[in-house]
Structure 1
């Protein structure tokens, strides 16, 4: 549900590499390159590494004024490059930003080479009124073996595919009430991102 339209007149945002540390204020990243030791054991060792709780999904629907009951939802999504991306120039104009006030949201890319630059991740903090502070927006380039979790109520861009198409599994809690699930802010004229 669109709740506002704002404009951005700041500098072009330059995307950085997605790492768990760089993204920590917005949520979590599952990134084998950053979280698993490089050495491989002998063949036949089976499961040789587990790092628990790299993502802690959160659902806050008990705070809903519409419906306090929720359930876990896994969705299959296919993303195409948005109309406002120029993959040759490595430039993207973000036209909206959204948040999910009652749930975290996790994206798992599927069928992408682990080193391929697969999608852009945009996130920002709230301003004093609880709206997105576009002057603090950060952009990240996510590789094919990285998943990202936006914490509940974190303003973020919609998934921007850097490929011809990108299949993802998306997990979040939902109560089926649109007003609780997603709030959208349109960006008049767009917000420029170079990657």
Structure 2
């Protein structure tokens, strides 16, 4: 079983899968009479249908036991999905490129510094939210509308991967 190497989350490394949402190194302009920096358009919400709506939710997640066997990934074919940490804690991200099914050899793992969020582009395969802390909260921006917006793919036992943060 292949153990995933956990990479630091950077805009360049994550670009094939989506956007890193962070202010460090991002351009801004001043608003509100010069009292506020606006970091504008850090990510774009994608929706597939004209009647789709972008919605904001909060996910309160519990940690999973590590090391973790990556048995499945999911994708959202109708829209993007963003996770922004609310409590400032690092979290893990496991992704694979857009395709009919995720290819185990192309799966990658990243760790956020706790001040970075991610926006998965439409159709990108990813593991459900992976918090390192016992419990963590995320602001989630995604799509609401008709039609299926969550496909799951389960790996065969031979295809499964291992996520071991302290490895």
Q: What TM-score, normalized to structure 1?
A: 0.74
Structure 1 position 55 matched with structure 2 position 36: no
Unaligned runs of 5+ in 1: 1-8, 38-44, 63-68
Name the counterpart of 1:183: 151
> Given the alignment, which residue of 68, 81, 88 partners 1:105?
81
Give the whole-Å Cα distance in 1 for the aligned partners of 2:113 and 2:49.
32
- 1:123 corresponds to: 95
Runs (4 or more) in structure 1 with deviation over 6 Å come to none
Q: Alpha carbons of 1:34 and 1:194: their partners in 2 closer, same or farther (altered >3 Å)?
A: farther
The alignment of Structure 1 onto Structure 2 pairs a total of residues equal to 158
Distance in 2 (CA, whole Å) between partners of 1:126 and 1:176 is 22
After TM superposition, the score normalised by the length of structure 2 is: 0.85
For 2:127 and 2:20, the matched residues in 1 are separated by: 16
8 Å Cα contact 1:20/1:31 also seen in 2: no
Larger radius of gyration between Structure 1 and Structure 2: 1
- Which residue pairs with 2:162 in the alignment? 192
* 2:35 is the counterpart of 1:46: yes
Look up the SS of the partner of 2:59 in the other structure. strand
Aligned pairs for 1:2-151 within 5 A? 9=1, 11-35=2-26, 46-47=35-36, 49-62=37-50, 69-82=51-64, 85-86=65-66, 91-112=67-88, 116=89, 118-126=90-98, 130-151=100-121
Contact 1:19 1:31 in 2 (8 A): no
Unaligned runs of 5+ in 2: 29-33
